[in-house]
Homo-oligomer: A and B are copies of this chain.
Amino acid sequence: MPDFKSIGEFGFINQIATHPTPNRVLCGIGDDCAVIEQSSTQVRLVTTDMMVEGVHFFTDTPPEGLGHKLLAVNISDIAAMGGTPTDAVISLAVPTHHDAGYLERLYNGLYACADRFDVAIVGGDTTRSNNQLVLNISLTGHMHRNHVCYRSGAQTGDLIYVSGTLGDAAGGLSLIRDQIKMNREDRTHLLRKFNRPEPQLTLGQTLAQTGAVTAMMDVSDGVASDLRHICKRSQISAVLHASDMPLSEPFVRFCKKTKQDATQLALSGGEDYELLFTIHPNRAKDIEHLVQKADFPQMTCIGYITDQGNDILLTQKDGSQTPLTATGYDHFKTPDKE
């Protein structure tokens, strides 16, 4: 039997996704949320995440931020469908001698985020762990069934957009892990994007209601990896323009300082929790105006959908094209956070 590392997270998910589901399940494994029929007009959305100490967060990560992040990244999954989050359950496996004050601070962060987004924490399970702290959240939401934005609707000619800027969270993680020094302002910006991701909930809902978005997901593993999911489920391919990636100034300075290719890191870095979506070219201008007018974070066109070829191509300024390396975040292939 192969071990888990050799088949990887996605290999395993593909294996279990083949089990049949009843008709009430409009979308099961393979999108940001499961989508379940609730009535003739409404669907229920469900998403879940497990976070493990030493894998997803450091032992000395401030617990308020951790509580915020646990909920915020799941609200981001609901946002990626265009829905409204309503309630969550939280499970904790806690090492016996863990400081009880730590958990109180974790819940303070969790509740602060929950109250802001009108999410009710309705229950959970608390148990003992012999080693690491393990957190799990399951978040439920709802929306009109006609407005759901799946990953599977992108079509040839659609333009590819991303909200906000890319790579900041990867920069923030590197600041902590590699102990890189930067000026205070840049440091604050990058760390905030890594520690306190802000789900693009209202933007997701607004985009979904326009009916112009053909596919949407959130950027959790990096655009290079995430866009592949849209391509696979929509059975199309894509071309990205390297010079059009939205990069923040602090991130550009970070890449310069650490001698890294900013475009490459922006595309491969995870945990940005921005929205990645495709729009029919006829509607693109309208939607751009709408987003600008409503004072949402910027949305940037980074490429287009094509039915040519199997690889996602990255076009450089000089017109040369290279297949985009498939480096996304796979927890089974990535070093520890300790």
* A45-53, A178-186, A261-269, A308-316 - interface stretch: A45-53
Question: Assuming the A-B contacts A3-B99, A89-B138, A100-B2, are A126 and B9 also in contact, with contact meaning beta carbons closer than 8 angstroms in the complex?
Answer: yes
Residues of B near A134 (CB, < 8 A) are 50, 52, 93, 129, 134
Question: Assuming the A-B contacts A12-B126, A47-B123, are A98 and B4 also in contact, with contact meaning beta carbons closer than 8 angstroms in the complex?
Answer: yes
A101 contacts partner chain B, Cβ-Cβ < 8 Å = yes
Whether A138 pairs with B48 at a CB distance below 8 angstroms is yes
A128 contacts partner chain B, Cβ-Cβ < 8 Å = yes
Instruction: Find the B residue at minimum CB distance from A34.
Output: B122
A289 contacts partner chain B, Cβ-Cβ < 8 Å = no
Most B CB contacts (10 A, CB to CB) among A5, A33, A47, A100 go to A100
Instruction: Find the B residue at minimum CB distance from A39.
Output: B39
Report A62-102 CB contacts with B as 1/0, cut-off 8 Å.
00000000000000000000000011011111111111111
Whether A4 pairs with B34 at a CB distance below 8 angstroms is no
A1 contacts partner chain B, Cβ-Cβ < 8 Å = yes
Partner of A121, one of B7, B19, B123: B19
Instruction: Find the B residue at minimum CB distance from A51.
Output: B127
Whether A124 pairs with B3 at a CB distance below 8 angstroms is no
Whether A123 pairs with B33 at a CB distance below 8 angstroms is yes
Whether B99 pairs with A1 at a CB distance below 8 angstroms is yes
* A24-32, A193-201, A207-215, A297-305 - interface stretch: A24-32
Whether A96 pairs with B48 at a CB distance below 8 angstroms is no
A290 contacts partner chain B, Cβ-Cβ < 8 Å = no
Residues of B near A38 (CB, < 8 A) are 38
CB distance from A4 to the nearest CB of B (A): 5
A250 contacts partner chain B, Cβ-Cβ < 8 Å = no
Residues of B near A94 (CB, < 8 A) are 4
A21 contacts partner chain B, Cβ-Cβ < 8 Å = yes
Q: What CA separation (Å) do A93 and B50 show in the bound complex? A: 7
Whether B54 pairs with A130 at a CB distance below 8 angstroms is yes
Residues of B near A103 (CB, < 8 A) are 4, 12
Residues of B near A287 (CB, < 8 A) are none
Q: What CA separation (Å) do A83 and B2 show in the bound complex? A: 40
Report A252-280 CB contacts with B as 1/0, cut-off 8 Å.
00000000000000000000000000000
- Give A residues with C-beta under 8 Å from B: 1-7, 9, 12-13, 15-16, 19, 21-22, 24-25, 28-29, 33-34, 36, 38-39, 44, 46-52, 54-56, 86-87, 89-104, 107, 111, 118, 120-132, 134, 136, 138, 140, 331-332, 336
Identify 26 residue pairs between A and B in the complex whose beta-carbon atoms are under 8 Å apart, listed by A's number: A4-B103, A5-B97, A7-B100, A9-B127, A16-B124, A21-B120, A24-B86, A25-B87, A29-B121, A29-B123, A29-B124, A34-B122, A36-B120, A48-B89, A49-B91, A50-B125, A52-B134, A56-B127, A96-B332, A127-B331, A128-B331, A129-B134, A130-B132, A131-B131, A138-B138, A140-B140
